[in-house]
Structure 1
Amino acid sequence: MMTRTKEHPPLSPHHRRRAVLLALLAVLPALLLVFTDSAPSAAHGTPMQPASRTFMCWRDGLTSTGEIKPVNPACQAAVAESGTTPLYNWFSVLRSDGAGRTQGFIPDGQLCSGGNTTFNGFNKARADWPLTHLTSGASLDFSYNAWAAHPGWFYVYITKDGFDPTKTFGWDDLESTPFMTIDHPQVTGQVGTVEGAYKWTGNLPSNKSGRHIIYMVWKRSDSTETFYSCSDVVFDGGKGEVTGVGEPGSPSDPPSDPQATCTATRKTTNSWSGGYQAEVTVTNTGANPILGWMVEFTLPTGQKVDSLWNGNATYNGQAVMVHNVDWNGSLAAGASATFSYVVNGGAADATTSQLCTVH
């Protein structure tokens, strides 16, 4: 299942056992709201073996009362800066405009957040992040959650010898090329749960010791959307054991606030021969504030967005992905924001559905 390919996001030439968590985490908040069966799906996911910072801290924070209260000091510091929203959205460290880009796109010091400001707290240079214990050169069963599945490539990097986790993490700290490239792996388990995952087996780099970061980039092949993640590991003869996290709550007691959700409704505000103007209202339907949102929809064949305002849009054929702008992403429970766009090439299609996801 594992193949190597020359197609990977390069760094600049001059800068050159399984997770024991799955059985404990059977119930999770459903964060994707799809309005019709034919609605497009947004990709979401993060490494679970070796586990990313966001997944580790979410697991660390689970309590039997449904609250999310991290015990790990680094996770507490991340929450102090960014709140608990990133823990509910542990699978959303993404850039919609990433297009697989790495160095020169994501700034030094922001690799773990992927340059996504919602997750800034996870960029902290600390030596007390939760750890996965590994053996240099050993075979490992990798697992990458598929909260929402899409085709693409996984590029797996590792830090250079002598990496210091207490210093700002930059591109110079990584080996220049991935030690592993995974080409369009298949999903096992149910998508939209912890059991849904891309899985593969591969060998870890040889001659590694001490603390490192395994850095993964998931590049979608059907969109410019790209995911970034940091997994803190230590090469000490381990076989995938985890330390630095508290005991999770009972799987029968999921978080009491799973509704980190939003809706997106569209209306046509003007029309003419060969075109129309539409407005989309995004509403926070959850119980807690959200820091950002994304709306996806697909235009009928022959139509094209001519202009769009109050949102940041990327396009892939007829597929349109709109992220909030700086001033309308933060929404209190029940609050709404709008964006508008003009389309040329036909009339408004009443069947076009909108997918809204929280970031």
Structure 2
Amino acid sequence: MTVVTPNAASAHGAAMTPGSRTYLCWVDGLDQTGQIRPTNQACSAAVNQSGANSLYNWFSVLRSDAAGRKAGFIPDGQLCSGGNSGFSGYNLARNDWPLTHLTAGATMEFKYSNWAHHPGTFYFYITKDSWSPNRALAWSDLEETPFLTVTNPPQRGAVGTNDGHYYFSGRLPSNKSGQHIIYSHWVRSDSQENFYGCSDVVFDGGNGQVTGIRGNPATPGPNPTTPGPNPTTPGPNPTTPGPNPTTPAPSGGCSATYRTVSSWGGGFQGEVTVRNTGTSSIGGWSASWNLGSGVAINSVWSGTHSVSGSNITVRNAAWNGTLAPNASTTFGFTASGTSGTPAVTCSAS
């Protein structure tokens, strides 16, 4: 990995991919006024306990006197806050935190905020199979050896911004399934300051999609909006007509609505809601629009995207393509440039 030189700046940082609780709760709560009002219930509970400052400073889960210490220094049940009382709400034992969907054994690009830039080593741990989200995280819940260790990785984006970050590739743990916590510990080599964080993940074949933010379900099943075997079929009824070859087949269609979640100098975050407007379930969807002059997509979650010239198309992820009539799902993205009010078209399959 590339060795980087520290700048004189106040220290801060947190995992962005897979997102830490504080980071994803910040993303969940952003609105167009710049205020942070979480919609995720776990995030709301954390803010009720720790205050909104914990999200305005989502990159500050740290101890200035840690000096590389873990067990015995950070008490059991306080790992997600790093023993920092200002973030105690993020220790809550809940199963509805925002989730990042991953594939066990896959190689992915990790991102860690470089709000302030310092040399040091990043350690990433995974919970044991015996861990349960119904109890606060303890050191004994973590596998003893980190599955990824990185020293002085490169960075991209401006220091002190919401999109600047260190980046490095790493292989996710194999033979994991279901919900887990990836625990991060950043040990600075130029001071005793250390950073700690919990990233809630689920190993279900995903590739980084995030759910549980802005009202999305936190733990979708294989097809979260798929109806039961036949929820509208009436029970035995001697008056129920048999098959009628002249009855038209139900129609399927979708609509897509765009909104700007937040904006900042040189960039913005957008969100598109896709809704099934037909009378039958759809098995997939795609949304397309014109990006406009000077707009470039940085990242997309809860969907896969392709860009051709100034046009972008986002298709459903593996887990949110099936929509029952009137059901909806959302995907989000960040982009550089200035947000407009694009007209988004939707196609169902």
Structure 1 length normalisation: TM-score?
A: 0.59
Partner of 1:55: 23
Match of 1:174 in 2: 142
Match of 1:100 in 2: 68
1:213-224 aligned within 5 A:
213-224=181-192
Match of 2:169 in 1: 201
Q: Which of 153, 156, 163 lines up with 1:185 in the alignment?
A: 153
Q: Indicate the SS of the match to 2:261.
A: coil
Contact between 1:134 and 1:236, CA under 8 Å: does it hold in 2?
yes
State the shift of 1:56 in Å.
0.5
Equivalent in 109, 114, 117 of residue 141 of structure 1: 109
Aligned to 1:132: 100
Alignment of 1:306-325 (within 5 A): none
Matching of residues 34-113 of structure 1 within 5 Å: 40-113=8-81
**Partner residue of 1:251?**
262
Extract unaligned runs of 5+ from structure 2: 216-258, 266-349
Distance 1:244 1:215 in 2: 19
Asked whether the equivalents of residues 112 and 167 of structure 2 are also in contact (C-alpha less than 8 Å), the reply is yes
In the alignment, the residues of structure 1 paired with residue 88 and residue 170 of structure 2 have an alpha-carbon distance, to the nearest angstrom, of 30
Secondary structure of the residue aligned to 2:262 is: coil
C-alpha contact (below 8 Å) 1:66/1:253 kept by paired residues: no
Q: Residues 33 and 262 of structure 2 are in contact (CA less than 8 Å); yes or no, is this contact kept in structure 1?
A: no
Give 1:162 shift.
2.8
Contact 2:20–2:200 (CA<8 Å) still a contact in 1? yes
Counterpart in the other structure of 2:205: 237
Where 1:252 maps in the other structure, the secondary structure is strand
2:337 corresponds in structure 1 to none
Q: Any stretches of 5+ residues in structure 1 without a counterpart?
A: 4-38, 255-359
CA deviation after TM superposition for structure 1 residue 2, in Å: 8.9
Three-state SS of the structure 1 residue aligned to 2:90 is helix
3-state SS of paired residue (2:88): helix
The residue identity in structure 2 corresponding to 1:251 is S
Structure 1 Cα separation of the partners of residues 109 and 94 of structure 2: 27
Cα 1:71–1:249, aligned 2, differ >3 Å: closer, same or farther?
A: farther
Aligned to 2:100, the other structure's residue is in SS state strand
**1:253 deviation in Å?**
6.5
Q: Distance in 1 between matches of 2:51 and 2:105?
A: 37
Query: How far apart, CA to CA, are the structure 1 residues paired with 2:34 and 2:260?
Result: 8
Measure the CA separation in 2 of the matches of 1:181 and 1:2.
14
Contact 1:65–1:249 (CA<8 Å) still a contact in 2? Answer: no
If you compute each CA radius of gyration, which structure gives the higher value, 1 or 2? 2
Residue deviations 1:109-156, cap 9 Å, x none? 000000000000000000000000000000111000100000000001
Q: Please tell me whether the aligned partners of residues 94 and 134 of structure 2 are also in contact (alpha carbons under 8 angstroms).
A: yes
Q: Any conservation in 1 of the 2:30–2:262 contact (CA below 8 Å)?
A: no
Deviations 1:219-264 (A, max 9, x none): 000000000000000000000000000179533379xxxxxxxxxx
* Deviation, structure 1 residue 68: 1.2
CA contact (8 A) 2:115 2:162 kept: yes
Structure 1 residues 136-185: Cα deviation after superposition (integer angstroms, max 9, x where no partner): 00011100010000000000101001321111210010000111100111
Alpha-carbon distance in 2 for matches of 1:231, 1:169: 12
Partner of 1:117: 85
Q: TM-score, normalised by structure 2?
A: 0.61
- Deviant stretches of 4+, over 3 Å: 247-251
User: CA separation in 1, counterparts of 2:142 and 2:206?
Assistant: 22
In the aligned structure 2, how far is the partner of 1:191 from the partner of 1:2?
17
Partners of 1:116 and 1:70 in 2: how far apart? 21
State the AA in 1 paired with 2:261. Answer: S
Q: CA contact under 8 A between 2:21 and 2:199: conserved in structure 1?
A: yes
| Cα distance in 1 between the residues matched to 2:164 and 2:8 | 18
Q: Call closer, same or farther: CA 1:252–1:2 in 2, change over 3 Å.
A: closer
**More relative contact order, 1 or 2 (CA 8 Å, 6+ apart):** 1
The percentage of aligned residue pairs carrying the same residue is 60
CA distance in 1, matches of 2:35, 2:172: 36
